[in-house]
Each structure stands twice: as C-alpha cells, then as structure tokens.
Structure 1
Amino acid sequence: MSATTSAEALAALPLPNKPGPAFPAFSRLALIGNPNSGKSSLFNQLTGLNQKVGNFPGVTVDRKSGISQLTSQHRAEIIDLPGTYSLYPKSLDEHVITDLLYDRRSAQYPDFVVVTADASNLRRNLLLFTQVVDLGLPVVLALNMMDVAEQQGVRIDLAELQRQVGVPVIPMNARKGVGVAALKIVMAQEVGPSSATFYQPSAELRPLVEQIRHRFGLENDYLALHYAHQFRHIKFLTADERAYLLALTQQYDFEPTARQAEETIARYVRINELLLNTVSVTRTEKAEPYSNRLDKVLTHKVWGYLIFFAVLFMLFQAIFTWAQYPMDLIDRGVAGLSGLIQAHFHGPLVNLLTEGVLAGLGGVFMFVPQIALLFAFIAVLEETGYMARVTFMMDKIMRKFGLNGKSVVPLISGVACAVPAIMSARTIENWKDRIITIFVTPLMSCSARIPVYTVLIALVVPPQKVLGLFNLQGIALMGMYLLGLGAALVSALLMKVVLKTKERSYFIMEFPVYRWPRWKNVGITIVEKVKTFLFQAGKVIVAVSIILWVLASYGPGEALARAEARVRAQAAQQRWLPAETETRVASAKLQQSYAGVFGRTLEPAIRPLGYDWKIGIALLTSFAAREVFVGTMSTIYSVGQDADMRTVQQKLAAEKDAAGQPVFTAARSFSLLVFYAFAMQCMSTMAVVYRETKGLKWPLLQLGYMTGLAYVAAFAVYHLLR
C-alpha cells in the first residue's frame, strides 16, 4: 500500500479498541523507536519549532520535547526518547526509557506511546514494538519509510497486520509529512492497550512474577519480569526494594542473560509468523544497492578520509567567506546604533546602554551567521546519513588512541557544544573509554570558540586567496579545529596509558540509508541552535558586559578623578590634540577603575604570555563562557571612548601598548588563539562533567590539565613568534 494513501488507509481500516471519548484536552505522548527508523523526522513534523531541550528528571541525558496541536481541541506534549533496539538497555541513555515506561506513578508517565518502525525492515523493528505492547501500554505503530519499502518491493497487508498486532497501524513517510495528519487523529483518541500478547513468562517463572506483582502492586506480568531483570538500574526503586528483588532473584536462581536470550528467541518466532502472514516481497534486488556502491567510496581507507577532509575544508571556508558580509553588516549596524544614541542622548544610563548592553549584544549577534552555517552543515551531514559513515571510518583511528568507536559521536558533537557532547558519551558502555571521551571532548573546538577565533584570525591573517580559490582565513580556522582534534587524541593516548581496566569495548552501528536532506528539518535545527546560542550564551554575555561596564566606569575613592586631572595637566604641558587627550584620559581612568585593579592584579601571571591587564580581564570573564571574550573586549574598549562608531574588530586593531605599538600582533594573537583552543573556560562543561562522573575529581583534573596545557602552549607560541 502506498504511503501516499495513508489517510485513506486509516479511514478504511477498522481500528482495534475503537476510539472512545477523546483524551483530555492535553496529554503526554512518548515517541520511541529503533535508531534510523525516522523517529526524529516524525518528532520534527509533529512539533515543528515548538521544541525545547532539557534533561530527563534525575539524569543528564538530553530530553527533547515539544507541543503538537493534534486537533483543534487537543494539544499534546511529545517526548522524544533516545533510540533503542529493545527494552533491555545497554547504555546509560537507554535507561531513561525504562525508567519512564516502568514508573506509572511518575508525573512524566506517558498517556500514550507511538512506536516508529522502518517498514523496509519490519523484522528487526518489531522486537521493540512487541515489548512495548506486552507492557500493557496504549500503543500506535507508526509504519515509517513506506516509500523505501515500496522501492525494495516490500508489500505490507496493513489490515491483516493491524488485526494481528491489535493496535492502530499508520503507514507513513515522516520525512515528507505523509501520514502525519492520520497519526494525529489517532493520537487524539483514547486507544486502549493491545489485546495481543507476544510473550508470556514460562511456568517456572510464574512464582517469581507473582511475588513481584504482589509486592509492587503491578498489573502486568511482563513489567514484573523486567523488575527482576533490571532492578539494579531502575532509579525509582528504593534500597529496600532493590534488596528484596535481589533476594528474590537469588531464591529462584534467576539468570537474566539466559532468560533474555530465551525471550528474544520466542519473540522472533512470533514475529516471523506474523510477517509470514502480512508481508510479501514482489521483487528481489539483483543489482548491488546504490548505497553499497557509494559506501565503497565514502568509507574507503584512503578516499574516505580525503573526502571527509574536503568536506571539513569546505565547511570552514564557508564559515569565513559566506558569513563575512552578514557579520560585517551586523557589526556596523550595532556600532552605528550605538553612535546614533550617543549623538542625541547623554548621561550614565546612555553610557550603560551603548558601552555595556549594546557592546555585549554586538558580541552575540555578530556571530549568528557563523553559528547558523556551522549547524546547517552538521544537520545536512546527519540528514544525508554521511555522519554515520564518518563515525565508522574514525573507529579504527580512535582505537589506536584508547577511545571507543562510539567516542566519535561526542567528539564530532563537541564541534557544536561540549555539554550535549559529553552527555552523549552515555552510549559508551566501557567505563575507561567513557571517562577518556568525557575528559578530552572539551579540547574539540566548540561553536563558542568561533567568535574568538574569528576576531583574532581576522586581525592577523590577511583575507587573501590561496591558489585563487581558498580563503587564507578559512584555512587558519580549520587549522584551529585540527589543533583541537590533535590535542584531544594525544591526551586520550596519555590517559590510555594511565587508566587501567580489563573491560573490552566494541562498536556496532547500523548505517542509515542515503537520503537528500529535508530542508525543513535542517531549518528547524538551525533555528533551535541559534536560539540556544542567543538566549543561553547571550544572557551570560550581556550580564557580564553590564557588570564589566560598571567595574570599568567606577573606581575606588577619587582614583578616576585624580587620573583624569593628571592626564589633562600633562596634555596642557605637551599640547596634545583634543582627540588624543580624550583617548588618554579614557585609558587612564579605565586603568584606575575596579576592572583595572582586577586586571593589574592578574597581569603578573599572564605577562609571560604577552598579555596585558585588559586581556587578563577577558580571560577571567571567559570562564563564564568562552564567547564572552569578544563582548568583554568590546565593552573594555568602548568605555569612555568617543569612537563608538568603530566595529569590534576595528577597536581591537586600533589598540596600542605603552610603546605605541599595536597590542594584537601576530605573536600575541596566535598565543591567544592557542590559549582559547586548549583552556577549560566553560562553567557549564565543568558542571556537566561533575554530574556525569558523580564527583569533583574529574572536573578538577580536567580544569588543571587543560589550563596548564593552554598556558604552556600559549607561552611557547608567543616566544617563538615574537
């Protein structure tokens, strides 16, 4: 049956457990499915831009949820659960699924579960579906990728399949939105649990199951069996309840591994019978699939790496070349607005607005084009299925450095942001591989470093073409990312030697089919990531900018007044021009301000790196968030200056030292670039490492190691280039 007729198919099919009264006007629905089953596409179709990212209660695994308008009178919260192949979790992120679906007393417990399944590979996908059904949950089977199934000659008798599974079956093509309307209609109805049962605990397990049901007040045999399997990892159980289950499983000599294998075999026997009656293949693929031929090139041991390197090269060229015009436009716009306000209004509040708030906002908005481009490229690579191939290719390299193939996902994600990247390390079962991955991921250059890299590279690297085609600044930016990758790999190799464990790691993954990206999904990703940058990083930057303006505009006692009087007296003696006088007055007052006092206190420690007290203030504030550097420098160089029409880059380029030489020379700028490439300047990252490792040991070691590495490397670069 064609996916394009899903709405008609729904109307024609007699729904099991015929819809009764509609759910309350608002309900909570969970979306679950195998990896690569189209779950994310369906989530985006259902929620659009009404999405938010948080954490599941009590854990630090990313939780995506969103609001969907199912009907004119019914709205629902859609919870996007991590992809999994079964309800027997193998990694930490999969445990949130069982914690959510097993705890019926939880406020987060779903009213309804939608299981997405790849219609072209039903045998594998139905294992998870049958487990969810046997839990007694209200379920709908979203039969996704019907277009792929048809291309492969797979025909599904939807009416018979629906009759046998006992729940509504909706044929779909989630990427194109086909079947979404039909799914919403069903989701807005009160469909009860399936009447079908796919697995029953054996007779010898009955006493164990009955006792668990009685002790915990459960109504479902299969849920009671899962308590026996997974009580060590179910978070909502108390210590006494775990002790009871431990004693009970020992009493009945319960072997979880053997019982799980027995259940899986029984389920596949039942699934095979079901598919025999509902699925037929009308043609066999004789020629080698196109994706296999493409994989021979894209995952080749030589060409694969060269192609990946070329993709990265194009990405960084685009970040500098394509984003330059809108960045300059935003920078000039903010500077122009600031100058316009100062030309017509005067007073402390006006100075706060122009030198504090607007200077800080300029440091946020200016880099939106680059952030958008970065996430657009990443989204396209994921949408097409290429990112999975990159993970596979990098597995061999990662293992030489003591990392798991699954470490590639956090490392690549670290290019966007270290916080969710570290959270994604929960998919790594091996303790040693997971700790090493968490430790080295912040060395990958995240999007927060882009503002720092962009400004400093633009100061010292000319925007000229190499070979008439490649932008030299883009090459320098790519060099910074490769530097971060190299540091992460070398650090991982050192930790491989230091940490000892007998655990063996493995890497198994399924390649998704190649597809053209769905531009709607790419657009949603860009908007969500830019919103996160603006509202999370932006709040910090603006807050820091305002505090800095206050610290830079006021000082202890009469220090500022005395500094101004001293400079004006000197100006009168040496007959300086009015513009030069005002610039020197502003500089002297800034030096005597509270910010100047803090900066000069820090200066002796950073002077060996070539940094002055102003740069020291930026380093200090950057520990809130790395991107604060640009906002800090913009604020510091705005306070008291008349040339507010200048852009951030122009302010830094015009800064002179005591000898009248440019502050941001090649030696000092590259030293700063290296420092920011290695330093652990992100409180959010430290917080998530603390939560993930459950202690202060690893975040403190990480802070000490990365700060020391940054200091030594910056010192070496400054003195080599000096």
Structure 2
Amino acid sequence: MATNTIHIALVGNPNSGKTSLFNTLTGLNQKVGNFPGVTVDKKTGEFNISSDTTAELIDLPGSYSLYPRRADEWVSYKVLMNQDTDVKADVVIIVADASTLKRNLLFVSQIIDLKIPAVLTLTMMDVARKKDIQIDIKALERELGIPVVPVNPRKNKGIDQLKKAVEATTKQQYRPPAFDFISNKNLATEAVTEVKELLPQLSDYSAIHHLINHESFLLSNDLQDKIEAIEQKNKVQHTRIQAEEIMQRYQRIKQIVQTTITEESPVKKQLIAEKLDRVLLHRFWGYAILLTVLFLLFQSIFWIAQYPMDIIELFFLNLSNWFSSWLPANKLTDLFINGVLAGLSGIFVFVPQIMILFGLTTILEETGYMARIGFLTDKIMRKVGLNGKSVMPMISGFACAVPAIMSVRNIENRKERLLTILVTPLMSCSARLPVYTILIALVVPQTYYLGFLSLQGLVMMGLYVFSVLMALIVAYVAKRFINIKEKSFFILELPLYRHPRYKNVLLTMIEKAKIFVFDAGKVIMIISLLLWALSSYGPGDRLEKVTAQYDQQITANPEQRDVLEKEKGAALLQNSYAGIMGQYIEPAIKPLGYDWKIGIALITSFAAREVFVGTMATLYSVDSDGGDEQTLRQKMNSAVNANGEKIYSLATGVSLMIFYLLAMQCMSTLAVVKRETNSWKWPMIQLTYMTVLAYVMSLLAYQLLS
C-alpha cells in the first residue's frame, strides 16, 4: 500500500506545551540540525497519521506574534510566510495554552488570516480547570473557523483526535475560513490592493507583511522594486499598521473570550505556584535557595558523572592495552592507539557530564524553576552587560564549557548571547581540577584555621570565586567593544510549577550528547591526531639518535630497563616537534616562572587541560600506577632549575594555577563556539584575549610572590 507523506509545522507561544506535544507525537523518531544560515535548532520527527499517511513534523521556535525580533522568531516567520526554501508545510498545528488562551489567541488569529490550513491544539486543560476556566470547544471552532482539539501530551489524551483533524484538514475537509479575523485590508487599503495585483495568491494579511518585510522575502528584484514603490507611494507606516492591527485583534479576541470561555469562580483561586513564588522569589530567601540549588546542581554533576567517566576512561585504557598487546609495534599502531583511541576517549569522556548537566537543567526547566533563576539574577547580570538568562550557562561552565555554551541559545539579545559565550570558558571547569589539586598540594601547606578550615580548601574555593569575578569584569569591559545595536528586553514568563516529564528529560540528554559527539567531536579528533604527530616526530634524525642512545643503555643495563624506558620517552618528547616548541617558547614563559617542561604541558594541554598531569608524569618519568600522584608530587617538588632553585615554588604554583584558570586550553570549546557563532572570528578573539589575560595575570602573580 502506498504511503502518503504530509509536512506539518508545529508553532505556538513559548511555554505553551509545544515541546511536550512534539515529543509525544514523534517519540524517538527525531532529528536535530540547524536551519540553513542561522544557529537555531531544527527539530524534525516522524509519526503515523493513519495506516496510509505518514507525517513529517517540524518543531518551529516559539513565537508570540508574526512580528519577529529574534533569529529564531524569523525562522518561524519565514516558514509561515512560505519564504523558506527548505521547509514547506502542508498544514500548521498551532499549540495554545488553554489556561492563558486570551494571550495565545493573538498569534492564532494572525496565522488564521494567512489563510493556510491550520489546526488549533489546546494544552494545559488541567491547569485551566484548576483555575475554574471552562472552554466551549465547539463555539471556539465556530468563532475561529478552524478545528480545535484539546490534548494532554503527558497522558496521551486527545492525540488520536488531533491526528484525525490534521488528516481531515490536509484532505480539505476543513478549509481556511473565508472571512478575515479582522478587516486587514482596511489597515492599508490601496497598498494592499496594489500588492495583490502583483501577487494574486496572497491573502490581505500576507499582503501587509509583504509591504512591511518584503526585503527579507524570496522575491525577484523586479517585484522588490515594485513593492517598494507601492510602499513609498502610499506612505505605508509600519508602526501604525502594526499598532492598529494588534488593537483590533485584541478587541475581537475579547469578544470571543466572552462568548466561549467562562470562569465559574469570580474570585481567582490562589494556586500553589503563587505561594511558592512568595518564597522562591523572596528578596532574601530566594537568593539563599538559589545558591543552594546551584550548589547541589554543581556538585551533582561531579558526583554522578564521576562513575561513568571512570568507566569510559578504564574502557579506553583497557582497549588501548589490548590492542597494544597484539598489534605490531610501528607508527601505524602508535597512530591508532595514541591518536585515534586517545581522541575518541577525549570525546566520549565528556558525554556523561553533558548528559547529566542537560538532564538536570531540563528538570529545572520543566518544573518552572529555571525561569525564576533568570528573574532573580537579571539585575546583577545587567550591570555587566548580560541578563538573567546568562546565569545558567555560566554556572554550567563550572562543569564543562562545551554544553554550557550550547545552552546560550535561549538568550534573545545577540550582544548578550555573544558576551555570555565569550566569558563562559572563564568559569573554572572540572578539567582544571587535576591541575589545581596537584599544584595546591605542591605549594600550599596543609594548615587548618579554627581547627576545620583548610588553607588548601580555601585556596581551591578562591580559584572558583576568582573565575566568577574575572568573567563579570571581562563582560563589563567587552560590552563596550561589541558594536551590536540591539535593544535588550528581559521579558520572562513565569510558568506554572509542574512535575518534570522524564521522557522529555531523557530525549534532551540523548539529543545534546549526539550534537557534541558528531559536531565538536570532529574537531577534537583532528586536534588529537595533530598533537600525536607533533609528539611523535621531530626534525632530522634527532629521535633516531635518542632511540639508539637509550637502546644501548638498556642493553648494557637490563636491570634498569623500566627506568630507562621512561627516560627514553621523556627524551623523545623533548626532541619532538612538541618538545622543541616547548623549549622555543621557554624565553616567553620564563618570566612566569615556567621551564621548558611546563611549556610542553601548556602546548599539550591545548587539547584538554587535564593533560597537564599526564604530561608531567611522562616528563618526570613517573609510573602510572596507583601511587603515581604522590610520586609525581615528590618528583615535581624536588625539581630544580639550572641555579638550583625549586621550580615549583609558591610563586610558580600560583602563577600556573592562574594561567590554567584563565587561558583557553580547550579545543572542543573553541569548536563549539565556532558552531554557535557560525564564524572563526569569535573563537580566535576568545583564544587571543584569554591567552593574553592569562599571561598578564600570571606574570603579576609570579612577580608579586617571588
């Protein structure tokens, strides 16, 4: 039996239940990409309408009206105006919140006047009932002229009726209403008439939008010129038309609400949400609870992610050892084990943090608390050029900057979104922890104040506080250099509190992990292979000479084979391109208190900061057994320079911690920034300013403490 495929666009106001309906309809049959030309999620999925009809559903970004302001709203607008070359919709499903229907009907009425096949879906019916709101569905259908179907995606209610209404609409059993919701033509009578003479297929309302936004539409140069001439001739005033249209629509909506919606109780019932907001948005307790929630979120990412991360690392370690045991010892094997497998390990080890972070933040979003966090912190953030929606990406940066930067898309203002991307990597991520741990143990004494306050612990906490302060200072300075003239509005709807839908949480976790593995993972692999090459090859026959020298010593002293093998590895690294680069930059980093070995660590840490400890272990010929951390500390603690002075003094240790705190040493972060900004310009700016900032601050720290 032949199967027909129809294309459906899913639209609606933000927080209207659109995502829940999308997930219920499509389940796991989802794909995520980007709309061409913009970094806006393009979520598509498939589901069966009937035995012979399949639907391809595209979830368009949430919009409040057909007058777009943000990039994501422009995406929805162009699809609805039939101006998107890649997305064509046979029918539109409009999702509206039944508990706030009056506000939602503005967008609904505008789509109706475009004269495109549409079905209205009412969600939140249970919330409406709690508010004593009753909706006459049949009367609402008569007033709007399109099918209206109440649904409850969480309980799978009304889904079959929705599918039947969509199928009937595609078969033209339901047609767009002949009448306009308001008299659109009267808003600009002559201009609308002249545009429709050029484009007879347009509705009156579509003609108005062609007058207002034709420059952004897919029209020939001839049509563009003609519409512009009509606009100038009739002196079309965009602001006046939009204002009159909105006023007329709300007048009509008020009439519809009076005839189709009744509230049994004259006194609005006080909901649990109102009581909770009195506490959660309190000027004191609100911030106390917020800090507690963020602390638990931050800690949970480490607590929960540590176990799967250890398993992944152990898996790749055993896999490497297994391949090493039976593959021949040659360059191809080395490339596979230390290049490919090491690169894959560096990708997949981040996946648990990404999934857990997005799982927990999705729970916060679904419960309604995420919006409260933005509301509480907006005043503080705005002083440095950010806004309340910047808080969660920055807090997420404490775990990993990669998923944190991926989460900035809900910030509408381009300047604030870009500022958030630029400063989020300054937040002290978990990859820096191994560096902090070993350096603090080296240079900070185990002193306790009041019997329980550890000096080492206070230094660790100070590093995290310092990272937040630097992020806010950089944002404050950078806002003066980013020349994006765009008004910032922090308009935030506080959704009702509700239980999270764990199926949605799981889908989000899987989706974000796939984006990281297949997008940022490509760049991580390339850099891993490049670093392998730099560490495995050297100029001329330097590496051959080192190998021959140590092979002779091993032959002469077989009882010292293990020690000599480790020294051989360190010498080979010193004479490789990476080692030469470390020695080459030693004059530049010497004012910071660093030697050439630290220089190599700085270079290898570019792939991942935690590589620092492994690099030091190799350079100081330390085994990687269970006691290696103590042994490594002892080796590093006894290391001296040519003058006999300790390399890892307090000044050098603090300088190095500050450098790792501020420097951009994470290629995966740069890859994600490139993906989110769709340009290499901003990653390069980020790399430059963070490196310069790290150098200057480390130099100050070393000079002050030495």
TM over 0.5: yes
C-alpha contact (below 8 Å) 1:29/1:76 kept by paired residues: yes
C-alpha contact (below 8 Å) 2:135/2:262 kept by paired residues: yes
Structure 1 position 515, deviation (Å): 0.9
Which has the higher mean CA deviation after the structures are superposed, 31-40 or 255-264?
A: 255-264
CA 1:622–1:238 in 2, change beyond 3 Å: closer, same or farther?
farther
One-letter amino acid matched to 1:256: H
Distance 1:533 1:504 in 2: 32
Structure 1 position 329, deviation (Å): 3.0
Instruction: Tell me the residue number matched to 2:276.
Output: 294
Instruction: Tell me the residue number matched to 1:357.
Output: 340
One-letter amino acid matched to 1:687: K
One-letter amino acid matched to 1:346: P
The reply to whether residue 282 of structure 1 matches residue 264 of structure 2 is: yes
CA 1:578–1:373 in 2, change beyond 3 Å: closer, same or farther?
same
Which has the higher mean CA deviation after the structures are superposed, 54-63 or 288-297?
A: 54-63
Distance 2:19 2:649 in 1: 47
Output one character per residue of 1:284-318: Cα deviation in whole Å (capped at 9) or x when no partner. Answer: 45553221221121112222112111111112222
Residue of structure 1 aligned with 2:471, choices 488, 498, 510: 488
C-alpha contact (below 8 Å) 1:153/1:284 kept by paired residues: no
CA 1:671–1:636 in 2, change beyond 3 Å: closer, same or farther?
closer
TM-score, scaled relative to structure 1: 0.82
Structure 1 position 577, deviation (Å): 1.4
Distance 2:616 2:160 in 1: 54
Q: Secondary structure at the match of 2:76?
A: helix
CA 1:402–1:320 in 2, change beyond 3 Å: closer, same or farther?
closer
C-alpha contact (below 8 Å) 1:367/1:451 kept by paired residues: no
Distance 2:455 2:213 in 1: 55
One-letter amino acid matched to 2:583: R
CA 1:162–1:477 in 2, change beyond 3 Å: closer, same or farther?
farther
Distance 1:79 1:609 in 2: 54
C-alpha contact (below 8 Å) 2:98/2:122 kept by paired residues: yes
Structure 1 position 86, deviation (Å): 0.7
Distance 1:78 1:710 in 2: 47
The reply to whether residue 553 of structure 1 matches residue 536 of structure 2 is: yes
Q: Secondary structure at the match of 1:167?
A: coil
Counting only pairs closer than 5 Å after superposition, residues 230-629 of structure 1 correspond to structure 2 as 230-232=213-215, 234-237=216-219, 241-285=223-267, 288-348=270-330, 349-405=332-388, 408=391, 417=403, 419-421=405-407, 423-425=409-411, 427-428=412-413, 434-435=414-415, 437-445=417-425, 450=429, 452-460=431-439, 482-495=465-478, 505-568=488-551, 577-611=560-594, 616=599, 619-620=602-603, 628-629=608-609
Which has the higher mean CA deviation after the structures are superposed, 641-650 or 516-525?
A: 641-650
Instruction: Tell me the residue number matched to 2:693.
Output: 709
CA 1:639–1:701 in 2, change beyond 3 Å: closer, same or farther?
closer
One-letter amino acid matched to 2:383: K
Output one character per residue of 1:599-628: Cα deviation in whole Å (capped at 9) or x when no partner. Answer: 4333433344455556655655766xxx64
C-alpha contact (below 8 Å) 1:61/1:424 kept by paired residues: no
One-letter amino acid matched to 1:116: V
C-alpha contact (below 8 Å) 1:33/1:117 kept by paired residues: yes
One-letter amino acid matched to 2:294: L
C-alpha contact (below 8 Å) 2:185/2:205 kept by paired residues: no
Question: What is the CA RMSD across the aligned residues, in angstroms?
Answer: 4.1
The reply to whether residue 154 of structure 1 matches residue 133 of structure 2 is: yes
Residue of structure 1 aligned with 2:674, choices 665, 687, 710: 687
Instruction: Tell me the residue number matched to 2:71.
Output: 92
CA 1:630–1:73 in 2, change beyond 3 Å: closer, same or farther?
farther
C-alpha contact (below 8 Å) 2:96/2:105 kept by paired residues: yes
Distance 1:471 1:172 in 2: 57
The reply to whether residue 116 of structure 1 matches residue 116 of structure 2 is: no
Task: Structure 2: give runs of 5+ residues left out of the alignment.
Answer: none
Task: Structure 1: give runs of 5+ residues left out of the alignment.
Answer: 1-21, 429-433
Structure 1 position 676, deviation (Å): 4.7
Distance 1:720 1:443 in 2: 26
Distance 1:650 1:353 in 2: 31
CA 1:719–1:309 in 2, change beyond 3 Å: closer, same or farther?
farther
C-alpha contact (below 8 Å) 1:548/1:636 kept by paired residues: no
C-alpha contact (below 8 Å) 2:543/2:575 kept by paired residues: yes
Distance 2:454 2:300 in 1: 9
Distance 1:412 1:243 in 2: 49
Output one character per residue of 1:112-167: Cα deviation in whole Å (capped at 9) or x when no partner. Answer: 21111001111111110111111111111111111111111111222222233222
TM-score, scaled relative to structure 2: 0.84
Structure 1 position 702, deviation (Å): 4.5
Instruction: Tell me the residue number matched to 2:60.
Output: 81
Distance 1:308 1:710 in 2: 31
C-alpha contact (below 8 Å) 2:78/2:84 kept by paired residues: no
Structure 1 position 255, deviation (Å): 1.7
C-alpha contact (below 8 Å) 2:393/2:424 kept by paired residues: no
One-letter amino acid matched to 1:389: R
Distance 2:333 2:697 in 1: 41
One-letter amino acid matched to 2:372: R
C-alpha contact (below 8 Å) 2:421/2:673 kept by paired residues: no
C-alpha contact (below 8 Å) 2:622/2:632 kept by paired residues: no
Distance 1:206 1:150 in 2: 43
Instruction: Tell me the residue number matched to 1:163.
Output: 142
One-letter amino acid matched to 2:540: G
Distance 2:560 2:129 in 1: 80
C-alpha contact (below 8 Å) 1:355/1:639 kept by paired residues: no
Structure 1 position 580, deviation (Å): 0.6
One-letter amino acid matched to 2:305: A
Structure 1 position 272, deviation (Å): 2.3
CA 1:169–1:665 in 2, change beyond 3 Å: closer, same or farther?
farther
Instruction: Tell me the residue number matched to 1:9.
Output: none
The reply to whether residue 66 of structure 1 matches residue 45 of structure 2 is: yes
CA 1:666–1:26 in 2, change beyond 3 Å: closer, same or farther?
farther
Could you say which structure has the greater relative contact order, defined with CA pairs below 8 angstroms and 6 or more residues apart? 1
Which has the higher mean CA deviation after the structures are superposed, 252-261 or 68-77?
A: 68-77
Distance 1:158 1:203 in 2: 30
Residue of structure 2 aligned with 1:184, choices 131, 144, 163: 163
Counting only pairs closer than 5 Å after superposition, residues 34-73 of structure 1 correspond to structure 2 as 34-73=13-52
Q: Secondary structure at the match of 1:218?
A: coil
Instruction: Tell me the residue number matched to 1:18.
Output: none
Distance 1:574 1:667 in 2: 40
Q: Secondary structure at the match of 1:577?
A: helix
C-alpha contact (below 8 Å) 1:317/1:475 kept by paired residues: no
Distance 2:44 2:595 in 1: 46
CA 1:618–1:144 in 2, change beyond 3 Å: closer, same or farther?
farther
Q: Secondary structure at the match of 1:120?
A: helix
C-alpha contact (below 8 Å) 1:545/1:631 kept by paired residues: no
Residue of structure 1 aligned with 2:116, choices 132, 137, 152: 137
Distance 2:520 2:613 in 1: 16
CA 1:444–1:245 in 2, change beyond 3 Å: closer, same or farther?
same
Distance 1:519 1:472 in 2: 42
